[in-house]
Amino acid sequence: MGAGKNMLRGFIFMIFYVGFTIIVPFLTFTFIRNLVISGIDITLSQQSYENIIFWVVAFGLLISGCSFFTYSSPKQSIRRGAFALIQILINCMYLWSYKFSGATAVEFDIITFNGNVVIDLQQMILVYMGIYTLTILIKVYDLADFVINREKIRTERWEK
């Protein structure tokens, strides 16, 4: 694939990651901040709403930037393997930021009935962390494979 196509591909994936790591969580937390369901006011009583949004946006920008470099690199290149590994590690920190910013224990106040509801999402985050651990192992293997078979990959690329 040519350099222009690689750059376009990297830009498209960067936009995709901006949408799913920044825009969707931002809109979700903004939408659930004040809900009205069947005439009942439900408000998010998290004091750390701004803290959650800050960490989501910060790590979302890092993930989006790394995704550009990952997907604009040639296939089976050391650069692509290195950026893919970095991107997975940043994804882990992104999930971890949900845990420590207070987003895993979402607390809602039900004003009409003078009560509250707490939704604990910590187990779901920990399951994703387990999946990312396996993905890290695969990316480390890919990077080692790209380094060991570098000459073979280059000759196959030049033959095309």
The domain spans of the chain are: 3-159
What is the distance of C-alpha 15 from the center of its chain?
Answer: 13
3-class DSSP state of 47: coil
Predicted confidence (pLDDT) per residue in 14-32, tens digit: 999 999 999 999 998 888 7
- Report the run of H or E that residue 36 belongs to, with start and end: strand 34-37
Predicted confidence (pLDDT) per residue in 45-104, tens digit: 777 778 888 988 999 999 999 999 999 988 888 898 999 999 999 999 998 888 888 778
* Eight-class DSSP state of 120: E
